[in-house]
C-alpha cells in the first residue's frame, strides 16, 4: 500500500470482538491469563499477547504497526515522547564504554542527552566537525555503537546525506540511526537509503495537532547483529536479566525492538498512554494531505521572506542557492519541509520586536502543528548551550525558526507582513525602492 493508504489503514483492520472501525482505546493496565501456563508463556515471550501495559498495549500496538509500515520497517516500539525514543534507541545499542558519533547540528535536547546525560552513564558522544559523511566516519572506532543524525536538522534545517552516512557506518559494522521527525515518511523513508533504525517524535508532524506527545523507534530489521557479535554482545549472548534469553535467536529481525521493549521500556517505563496513541493515530490519518500543504506553504513563506528587504537572510533547502539544495532534490524531490529559519535586518532587537508582534503565528517551542509556529532558539531550545556550541549547532543569536502550518497562505503572509512592519524596520515599499 502507498503512504496515503497506510496512513489511514496501516496496522488496523477492525476490532475483532466489536467490529469497531475507529481504533478502540484499550484503557487497561493488565490483561487476564487463561491459566498459569498461559501467564508463564507470555512472560517467557513464547506466545503473542498482552500482560501489562508497561510492556505493550493493543491501542499502542496499532500505532507501532502503522509507523513501522509507513517507514518500511520490520517492527517498532512507541513510547511517551521523542526524547524517550532517542534515549531507548541509544541505550539499546550502547553500554558504558561505547560511543555514538553524530553531526554537530542536532535538536537541542538531543544534544544535551548525548553530550551530558549519556556521558555521565559512560557513553561518549562524539560530535563531528560538520554533517558530512567524511567528518563523521573519521570519528568511528571499535567502540562506536551507532552513527546518529537527523534527516532534516532541527532547527538548522541541514540535510544529511543518509546514503553516504549508512555506507560509512556499515563499512565499520555500525548501524545508522536517523531521527526522521521533521521529514516524516511522507517526504523521506531513511530505511530505503540504508538507515537501520529510525526514530520519531510523533509529537510533531506525525500527530500533527500539538495535542499529544509520543515517540517511536523503528527497526529496519536489516542489520546483522550476529555478524557484529563482539560489538553487540547484548543481542547475541544470553541476557541474565531475562533468564538467559538470546535476542537474535528468539526474535530474528525484531531483536532490536524486542530488547528495547523488554530491557528499557519494561524497567524504566516511558510508556505511551493509549489515549495519546489514539490521538496520534487520528493525526496520522491525514499526514500525507497535511504534508502536501505544509510543503506548499513552507515554500511560499520562504519566497515571501526572501523577497522582503526587511529580512536579512532566509535558510530554506528549497532555494537553489542553499548548500542543501542538491540533497533536498535527491531525498525529497525538492519538497523541502515547512521548517525554515531567518534573520531580520536589525539583528536580535528587530527580531524580538517582530516576534512579539506576531498575532496569528504562535510564539512557542514546537514544530509540525497544523498551526503556524515561531520560536527563538537562542533564548529557548538552545539556551543551555554556550554561544560557541550554538554557532556549531547552526543557531545564530537573531535566528527565528518557523514551522509553517496549513492555514490559508494569505493569512500567514499577512501576519508576517504586519509583524515586520511592527519591528520598526520601515515600510516594505520604501525599503524596496532604496
Ligand atoms: C521535538 C523533537 C524531538 C523530541 O521529541 P519530544 O516528543 O518533544 O520528546 C526530537 N528530535 C527532533 C528532531 C524534534 O524536533
Residue to mutate, 149, 204, 395, ligand 1, most ligand atoms under 8 Å from C-beta: 204
Written as nine digits, the cell of 240 is 541474565
Task: Tell me how far CA of residue 408 lies from CA of 128, 300, 404, in angstroms.
Answer: 40, 11, 11
CA of 181 to the centre of ligand 1 (A): 7
Sheet hosting strand 339-344, strand order edge to edge? 311-315, 339-344, 400-403, 373-375, 362-363
Beta-carbon contacts of 43 under 8 Å, excluding residues fewer than 6 positions away, are: 51
For the chain, 434 residues long, give each residue's pLDDT as a single digit of tens: 999 999 999 999 888 889 999 999 999 999 999 999 999 999 888 888 999 999 999 999 999 999 999 999 999 999 999 999 999 999 999 999 999 999 999 998 999 999 999 999 999 999 999 999 999 999 999 999 999 999 999 888 999 999 999 999 999 999 999 999 999 999 999 999 999 999 999 999 999 999 999 999 999 999 999 999 999 999 999 998 888 999 999 999 999 999 999 999 999 999 999 999 999 999 999 999 999 999 999 999 999 999 999 999 999 999 999 999 999 999 998 899 999 999 999 888 888 899 999 999 999 999 999 999 999 888 888 888 888 888 887 788 889 999 999 999 999 999 999 999 998 877 666 666 65
Report d(CA 160, CA 164) in Å as an integer: 9
- Neighbouring CB atoms inside 10 A of 267's CB total 9
* Whether the Cβ atoms of residue 103 and residue 160 lie closer than 8 Å to each other: yes
Measured between alpha carbons, how far is residue 319 from residues 146, 220, 323, 343, 345 in Å? 32, 32, 9, 16, 20
Q: What is the CATH number of domain 287-433?
A: 3.90.1150.10
List the grid coordinates of 221. 530489521
Gap from CA of 233 to ligand 1 centroid (Å): 29
> 17: which DSSP letter?
T
Q: Which atom of ligand 1 is nearest to the CA of 215?
A: 7
pTM of the model as a whole:
0.96
Q: What is the pLDDT of residue 432?
A: 63
| In the chain, domain spans | 57-283, 287-433
Does the structural domain 57-283 have CATH classification 3.40.50.300? no
Ligand 1, CB cutoff 6 Å, lining residues: 81-83, 107, 109-110, 150, 154, 179, 181-182, 201, 203-204, 213, 215, 367
DSSP strand pairing (400-403 vs 124-127): unpaired
pLDDT at residue number 429: 63
Quick one: pLDDT at residue 13?
84
How far is the C-alpha of 368 from the C-alpha of 116, rounded, in Å? Answer: 27
Amino acid at each position: 500500500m502507498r503512504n496515503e493508504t497506510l496512513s489511514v489503514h496501516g496496522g488496523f483492520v477492525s476490532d475483532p470482538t466489536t467490529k469497531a472501525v475507529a481504533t478502540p482505546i484499550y484503557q487497561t493496565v493488565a490483561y487476564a491469563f487463561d491459566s498459569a501456563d498461559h501467564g508463564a508463556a507470555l512472560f517467557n515471550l513464547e506466545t503473542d499477547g498482552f500482560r501489562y501495559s508497561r510492556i505493550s498495549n493493543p491501542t499502542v500496538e496499532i500505532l507501532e504497526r502503522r509507523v513501522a509500515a509507513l517507514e518500511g520497517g520490520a517492527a517498532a516500539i512507541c513510547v511517551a515522547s521523542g526524547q524517550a525514543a532517542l534515549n531507548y534507541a541509544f541505550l539499546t545499542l550502547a553500554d558504558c564504554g561505547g560511543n555514538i558519533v553524530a553531526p554537530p547540528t542536532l535538536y537541542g535536547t538531543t544534544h544535551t542527552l548525548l553530550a551530558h546525560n549519556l556521558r555521565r552513564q559512560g557513553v561518549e558522544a562524539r560530535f563531528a566537525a560538520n554533517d558530512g559523511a567524511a567528518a563523521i566516519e573519521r570519528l568511528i572506532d571499535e567502540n562506536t555503537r551507532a552513527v546518529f543524525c537527523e534527516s532534516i536538522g532541527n532547527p538548522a534545517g541541514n540535510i544529511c546525506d543518509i546514503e553516504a552516512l549508512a555506507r560509512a557506518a556499515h563499512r565499520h559494522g555500525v548501524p545508522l540511526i536517523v531521527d526522521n521527525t521533521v521529514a516524516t515518511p511522507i517526504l523521506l523513508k531513511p530505511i530505503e537509503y540504508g538507515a537501520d533504525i529510525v526514530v520519531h517524535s510523533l509529537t510533531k508532524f506525525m500527530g500533527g495537532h500539538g495535542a499529544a506527545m509520543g515517540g517511536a523507534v523503528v527497526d529496519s530489521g536489516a542489520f546483522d547483529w550476529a555478524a557484529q557479535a563482539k560489538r553487540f554482545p547484548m543481542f547475541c549472548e544470553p541476557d541474565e536479566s531475562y533468564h538467559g534469553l538470546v535476542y537474535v535467536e528468539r526474535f530474528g529481525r525484531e531483536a532490536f525492538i524486542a530488547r528495547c521493549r523488554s530491557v528499557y521500556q519494561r524497567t524504566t517505563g516511558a510508556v505511551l498512554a493509549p489515549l495519546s496513541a489514539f490521538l496520534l493515530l487520528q493525526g496520522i490519518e491525514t499526514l500525507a494531505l497535511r504534508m502536501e500543504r505544509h510543503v506548499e506553504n513552507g515554500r511560499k513563506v520562504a519566497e515571501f521572506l526572501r523577497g522582503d528587504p526587511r529580512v536579512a537572510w532566509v535558510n530554506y533547502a528549497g532555494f537553489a542557492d542553499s548548500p542543501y539544495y542538491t540533497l533536498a532534490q535527491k531525498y525529497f524531490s525538492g519538497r523541502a519541509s515547512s521548517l525554515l529559519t531567518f534573520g531580520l535586518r536589525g539583528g536580535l532587537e528587530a527580531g524580538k520586536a517582530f516576534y512579539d508582534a506576531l498575532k496569528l503565528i504562535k510564539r512557542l517551542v514546537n514544530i509540525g502543528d497544523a498551526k503556524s509556529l515561531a520560536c527563538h532558539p537562542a533564548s529557548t531550545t538552545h539556551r543551555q548551550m554556550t554561544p560557541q556550541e550554538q554557532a556549531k549547532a547552526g543557531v545564530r543569536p537573531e535566528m527565528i525558526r518557523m514551522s509553517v502550518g496549513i492555514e490559508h497562505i494569505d493569512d500567514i503572509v499577512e501576519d508576517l507582513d504586519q509583524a515586520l512592519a511592527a519591528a520598526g524596520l520601515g515600510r516594505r515599499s520604501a525599503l524596496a525602492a532604496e
